[in-house]
Structure 1
Amino acid sequence: MGNAQLVEVVLPGVVAPEGLQIRQGVVPAAGPGQVVIAMEATGVSFAEQQMRRGRYYDQPPFPFVPGYDLVGRVLTTGQGVDPGLAGRRVAALVKVGGWASHVVVDARDAVEVPDGLTAEEAETAVLNGITAWQMLHRKARVRAGQTVLVHGASGGVGSVLVQLARAAGVKVIGTASVRHHDSLRERGVVPVDYRADDVPARVRELAPGGVDAVFDHLGGRSVIDSWRLLAPGGTLVAYGSASTRDDTGSKQWPVLKILGRTWLWNALPNRRRAHFYNIWAGRALSAARFRARLRADLTEVFAAVLRGEVAAPVAATLPLAQAAEALRLAESSTVTGKIVLTP
């Protein structure tokens, strides 16, 4: 371990994937309350696709190391941290910094990965799993027998969301391109072709009284359609603006527009609710509560993976040095499952 070297991927500015840079350096030391994680797996998510375009609404200034989450083993522990953590496999949500061979995190942000899960299996469930679990159970508070609509049901978050919903006894309508329909049917999902079908009309046919929840990552016009598809007492959970990924102009505006709409809809005298889900919400107000919820929810997701209720396939595994290729593959929309980077 003594001669290990830090390798990290740097996003220098608004560049094509090939513009990512590989930087080498000294493995960082753990400060008080911190651990150094030797990364075993980190993911390529939609956030990095937005960040390289300068379109992620609260990304740090360039240059920076992207990488929203990671799984690895604790290499060293800082002062005040249980030294017994060394060698344990943990997961962490970091927003940026994960695309590196060694990552320093606050020990309180490291969640232990249960035995029986590989680093790659655990990695597929971190960002996507927490997002899906919290939207389903903390925001929409779904109950068995309800019907929900999941946009992008074969995507990273969507595929975990539909499986967690089915495990909770919920009926699921999912939008996806035709090539994913068979695999969705195998999971008990009623597929809708978002390219060929009039999605709102088709959903009304399938759920004439409306749906109990809609999970919408598209933003833009889709959010309005989603709101109109809700049954009385239903909940809209918007969690992104994927439809504006390639737009120019303000990166905050698409999100502010959704926030404005949800505020307005919630102010209206009706029984439906709208939320804009942000995985980091509440952290500034109470870091301890935020961490406790994150730990509890990720532990639930890992348990669901171990029970076989959630399978999050790995589409491809590439070394950190091939991050550009991994990002291009993720953006091509030609693969199903998570693209994972390893050291």
Structure 2
Amino acid sequence: MHTEQLVEVILPGVVEPEGLQVRHGGTVPSPGPGQVVIRMEATGVSFAEQQMRRGRYFDQPPYPFVPGYDLVGTVTVTGAGVGPDLVGRRVAALVKVGGWASHVVVDAADAVAVPDRIGAAEAETLVLNGITAWQMLHRKARVRPGGTIVVHGANGGVGSVLVQLALATGITVIGTASPRHHDTLRAQGVSPLDYRAGDLAARVRQLAPGGVDAVFDHVGGRGIVDSWRMLAPGGTLVSYGTAATRDDQGSKQWPVLKLIGRLCWWNVLPNGRHASFFNVWAGRSLGKDRFRARLREDLAEVFAALQRGDITPRIAARLPLDRAADAVRLAESGTIAGKVVLTP
């Protein structure tokens, strides 16, 4: 018998943050065959939830639903076919939706072990952000030590992890951010640029006259052309978002499709440069088992980098689940560095 009660945050439609609904007193779900129940210890506010709140995320489910892209917690119950030794283990899971709840059911194969010495909130900052940064740097762009890259939003959730992974690999980093973050970036060894100060591509060329080996761009929109112009021959543009269109009206698919179309066109040009759109779920085209194996392997690499001191988790704030509206407001304010974490 479950004596605990379910708490979850509902996104009922296109609403302001205050329109999020906190529901108390539901029945804690039971796992089906091959599944586990995770008692959430930390989940986060990512850019995806900011888009979903506006109805702008490419493939979000119909309203109402529980948002929450990833979570970290402890396994409390296992379903048929799952070894009971998982109970009591801290795990991380990438779920896309459903994480903003006190208890979450996931397939056991999607639960990735979190090393004992890593706290739940620290681990949470590195699930979606860490997987995205690791796979873009090491699987997509494959930048070698001694290379030079541009990271847009170098102070952000994904950007800050990407910067640290690159520096630990021996890669030179040029990072775009608003001026208030420049001292922090310089202290890390990053060359900071103000993304609002005009002709970004020319200023990158001053720092890297031959162009850079890779550009990581979460902004999309018209700025993607500048990102393409920054590349050296043989360089790679990795686009992984359309932040520039977050507040647009109209079709939520069109900005992404237009961007992918442009990247595909650039790829056929005979100039030796490469462009690709990265989404962590695209790896499912490998097949479910290979996708899961790669996720486990790469997240283990990210956690190992944390334990070596290569990455410092950036927790902007910790707020309880019933203050989800405040957490979203803070995450969208543009005033923070790192990730806003929700706790039970």
Query: Normalization by structure 1: what TM-score?
Result: 0.99
Q: Deviations over 1:47-89 (max 9, x none)?
A: 0000000000100000000000000000100000011000000
Match of 1:64 in 2: 65
**1:180 matched to 2:181:** yes
Match of 1:22 in 2: 22
Q: Deviations over 1:311-341 (max 9, x none)?
A: 1211110000000010001011111111000
Asked if the contact 1:165/1:172 (under 8 Å) is kept, the reply is yes
Paired residues for 1:1-343 under 5 Å: 2-24=2-24, 25-343=26-344
Q: Aligned-pair distance for 1:262?
A: 1.3
**1-side partners of 2:305 and 2:182: how far apart?**
23
Asked if the contact 1:216/1:239 (under 8 Å) is kept, the reply is yes
Structure 2 residue runs of 5 or longer lacking an equivalent are: none
**In structure 2, what residue type is equivalent to 1:232?**
P
Question: Number of residue pairs matched?
Answer: 343
Secondary structure of the residue that 1:42 maps to in structure 2? strand
**2-side partners of 1:197 and 1:303: how far apart?**
39
Asked if the contact 2:2/2:28 (under 8 Å) is kept, the reply is no
CA RMSD of aligned residues (A): 0.9
Structure 1 residue runs of 5 or longer lacking an equivalent are: none
**2-side partners of 1:19 and 1:140: how far apart?**
40
Q: Aligned-pair distance for 1:187?
A: 1.1
Secondary structure of the residue that 1:92 maps to in structure 2? strand
**In structure 2, what residue type is equivalent to 1:16?**
E
Which range is displaced more, 11-20 or 332-341? 332-341
**1-side partners of 2:263 and 2:83: how far apart?**
43
Secondary structure of the residue that 1:290 maps to in structure 2? helix
Q: Aligned-pair distance for 1:2?
A: 3.3
- Percent of paired sites with the same residue: 74
Secondary structure of the residue that 1:223 maps to in structure 2? helix
**2-side partners of 1:229 and 1:193: how far apart?**
15
Q: Aligned-pair distance for 1:195?
A: 2.1
Which range is displaced more, 52-61 or 328-337? 328-337
Q: Aligned-pair distance for 1:198?
A: 2.9
- Distance verdict in 2 for CA 1:141–1:284, change over 3 Å: closer
Q: Deviations over 1:224-251 (max 9, x none)?
A: 1111111000000000000100000110
Q: Aligned-pair distance for 1:282?
A: 3.0
**2-side partners of 1:171 and 1:272: how far apart?**
19
**2-side partners of 1:170 and 1:104: how far apart?**
39
Q: Aligned-pair distance for 1:196?
A: 2.5
Asked if the contact 1:159/1:312 (under 8 Å) is kept, the reply is no
**In structure 1, what residue type is equivalent to 2:264?**
W
**1-side partners of 2:244 and 2:263: how far apart?**
18
**1-side partners of 2:165 and 2:286: how far apart?**
28
Q: Aligned-pair distance for 1:285?
A: 4.7
**In structure 1, what residue type is equivalent to 2:33?**
P
**1-side partners of 2:173 and 2:289: how far apart?**
34
**2-side partners of 1:280 and 1:64: how far apart?**
19
Asked if the contact 2:43/2:71 (under 8 Å) is kept, the reply is yes
